[in-house]
Amino acid sequence: MSQKHSLFILYAIITGVISGIITGWFFGTTMLKFSWMGTVFLNALKGIIVPLVFTSVVSSVASLGDIRKLGRLGGITVAYYFVTTSLAVIIGLVAVNIIKPGANLHFNDVGSADAIINNNEIATLSDILISMVSPNLFASAANTQVLPIILFSVLFGAAFTTLEKQGNTVNEFFTGANNAMLKLVGWIMYLAPLGIFSLVSARIAKAGGGDAFLKEVIGVGLHVATVLSGLAIHFIILFIILFFIGRRGFSYLSTMLNALLTAFGTASSSATLPITMECADESKINGKVTRFTLPLGSTINMDGTALYEAAAALFIAQAYGIELGVGQQVIVFITATLAAIGAAGIPEAGLVTMIIVLNAVGLPTDGIALLLTVDWFLDRFRTSINVWGDAVGAAVVDRYTSAALPDVETKNK
């Protein structure tokens, strides 16, 4: 997509977000009539996730040519994920310890979170590991479970590198298929402004319009403020990492805005993945890096979710008047990191995996009911930070690996 085009789309998306908030706020449920536009946009994105992830990871790994390069690419990527996610959790913990958003709430009975707990597929740490290996790839694809598809694609792509000539032919096929997928994403982006407008306005309308929404937020206002300020601080820290380690700056951020706003509109990093890849491509990140790091990042690197899970668990403890010592906060740190890795890139997935964190330190899972009313709202911000973390990661990995990796040809190059 040309720069003029993507700038045009960016302005249109910003207009979409703002007018979505205003119309949802003032016209309430009338706006639900337009929600079909958001559904069309989301369906288009969701529909392309599996073929996009499959072709991009296979072509990225296969074109490394040598399995040892995968070690370097994978090593730097995972190290970056680990460091930044840990930073995010620490910010979440520090913010709640300073602001103490739950201290004056004194909740003993906040209602029941049974619906979430019963629908929850990932309740323990071993579930996360089990979910990575699929007994049936087609079933995983049908349910958009991306992690097992990524694992399979990495191994499949790695197997090509041992085949020499045959491997090259198939690799070329996957590279071409991936470029065609990205072309489709470029077309889907034209739907983004209207789609995001409708998603945002319908969500505020569903919350009952402006007044009802404000009441919800004020009820747990300090919690909302704590999470938002933590996310803002982490956004800046990631920018600093981008600047000093990734050696990129505002122009990278502005190219990524399309993806960040799509994340805000869809509350799903998986649904945003196609757009994130398109933006990385436009920013001239090495194609192999984009294709490997972004699909992986969209499912396991969730800084915003990790920060949120830690902050929310401590908030619940405060609201119930339960004191968590340093040892228990360390457990929150570890489990929040793992819970974020286990959370799928779909709306409000973090709320579900938070049960892992609460169980680990013996907090009442019903406390989740406290967060329900505003979770959809905070979800949008943490999803944008999740995507921003992936984008910065791609830039960092690009800087440290691309010299050793000849670029693949993509449609923007």
Chain residues that interact with ligand ASP, rule: CB under 6 A: 267-269, 302, 305, 343, 345-350, 379, 382-383, 386
Nearer to ligand ASP, 58 or 349 (CB): 349
Q: To the nearest whole angstrom, how small is the minimum distance from the Cβ of residue 15 to ligand ASP?
A: 24
Which DSSP letter does residue 248 get? Answer: -
The answer to whether the beta carbons of residues 256 and 283 sit under 8 Å apart is yes
Per-residue tokens: 190: 């034209």
Helix axes 368-401, 287-300, angle to 10 degrees: 160
Q: To the nearest whole angstrom, how small is the minimum distance from the Cβ of residue 185 to ligand ASP?
A: 17
Helix (H, G, I), strand (E, B) or coil at 247: coil
**Which residue number is nearest to ligand ASP in terms of Cβ?**
350
Q: To the nearest whole angstrom, how small is the minimum distance from the Cβ of residue 174 to ligand ASP?
A: 26
Nearer to ligand ASP, 64 or 147 (CB): 147
How many other C-beta atoms lie within 10 A of the C-beta of residue 336? 32
Nearer to ligand ASP, 62 or 302 (CB): 302
Q: To the nearest whole angstrom, how small is the minimum distance from the Cβ of residue 348 to ligand ASP?
A: 5
Q: Which among 144, 129, 115 is positioned nearest to 355, based on CA atoms?
A: 115
Q: To the nearest whole angstrom, how small is the minimum distance from the Cβ of residue 159 to ligand ASP?
A: 30
Q: To the nearest whole angstrom, how small is the minimum distance from the Cβ of residue 33 to ligand ASP?
A: 25
Among positive and negative, which fits the CA dihedral 399, 401, 405, 409?
negative
Nearer to ligand ASP, 37 or 341 (CB): 341
Q: Which among 22, 383, 385, 374 is positioned nearest to 225, based on CA atoms?
A: 374
Nearer to ligand ASP, 341 or 408 (CB): 341
Nearer to ligand ASP, 9 or 116 (CB): 116
Q: To the nearest whole angstrom, how small is the minimum distance from the Cβ of residue 305 to ligand ASP?
A: 3
Nearer to ligand ASP, 64 or 343 (CB): 343
Which DSSP letter does residue 405 get? Answer: S
Nearer to ligand ASP, 70 or 349 (CB): 349
- Ramachandran region of residue 139, left (φ > 0), alpha (ψ -120 to 50) or beta? alpha
Q: What is the Cα–Cα distance from 383 to 389, expressed in whole angstroms?
A: 10
Q: To the nearest whole angstrom, how small is the minimum distance from the Cβ of residue 342 to ligand ASP?
A: 11
Q: To the nearest whole angstrom, how small is the minimum distance from the Cβ of residue 400 to ligand ASP?
A: 25
Nearer to ligand ASP, 390 or 408 (CB): 390
Q: What is the Cα–Cα distance from 289 to 61, expressed in whole angstroms?
A: 9
String of DSSP letters for 89-143: HHHHHHHHHHH-TTTTT--S-----HHHHHT-S--SHHHHHHHHS-S-HHHHHHT
Q: List all residues 6 or more positions away from 407 whose beta carbon is below 8 Å from its beta carbon.
A: 286, 287, 288, 413
Q: How far is CA 409 from CA 166, 243, 350, 365, 406, in A?
A: 20, 26, 36, 49, 10
Per-residue tokens: 131: 């979910």
